[in-house]
Amino acid sequence: MNQIPETELKSLLSQVKLLALDVDGVLTDGSLYYTDTGSELKRFNVKDGVGIKQVKQAGIKVAIITVSTASAVQHRAEKLGIEDLYMGIEDKLTVIKKLCDRLDLSLAQVAYVGDDLVDLPVLKAVGCPLTVADAVAANREASIYVTEKLGGQGAVREICELLLSCL
């Protein structure tokens, strides 16, 4: 769902060189699953993974920045070839700024997808703040685009397809 006129949205998205993603509530549905031994399990949507691979092939860098420390996140990032993985991160904006410095990008060239309040400072700082349909209200209000799909249900694929349509 567009929060801004489509022409402005496409103009902003056409400048994106980095797609940064939260995990819980974006790449997953936000549920936490635990085994009897206390291991944390996460469920990822394969369609999101295909979209991420397509965006990477188109030359857009992809990063994951998450508060989570679950090893499942590391395994998923490795499977998708995502080299920029930041886990256990509460201050995501500092990480985004350092990543932009390293990649010689401006914040205007970043699309960030985050669904909860820990993501809000990043959404307010980047050029393309994006979120999922079931994000908290503050994130929906701060975003230029809110997906029709829910987190973990193909929302990242929706964003990837949108990005690819603007190249």
Q: What is the pLDDT of residue 3?
A: 76
Per-residue pLDDT of the chain (167 residues; tens, 9 = 90+): 677 999 999 999 999 999 999 999 999 999 999 999 998 999 999 999 999 999 999 999 999 999 999 999 999 999 999 999 999 999 999 999 999 999 999 999 999 999 999 999 999 999 999 999 999 999 999 999 999 999 999 999 999 999 999 99
Domains and CATH numbers, the chain: 6-165 (3.40.50.1000)
Q: What is the pLDDT of residue 1?
A: 67
Cα-Cα-Cα-Cα dihedral sign, residues 137, 126, 47, 85: negative
Q: What is the pLDDT of residue 118?
A: 97
Give the integer Cα–Cα distance in Å for 167 and 156.
17
The owner of tokens 């964003």 is 159
Q: What is the pLDDT of residue 53?
A: 98
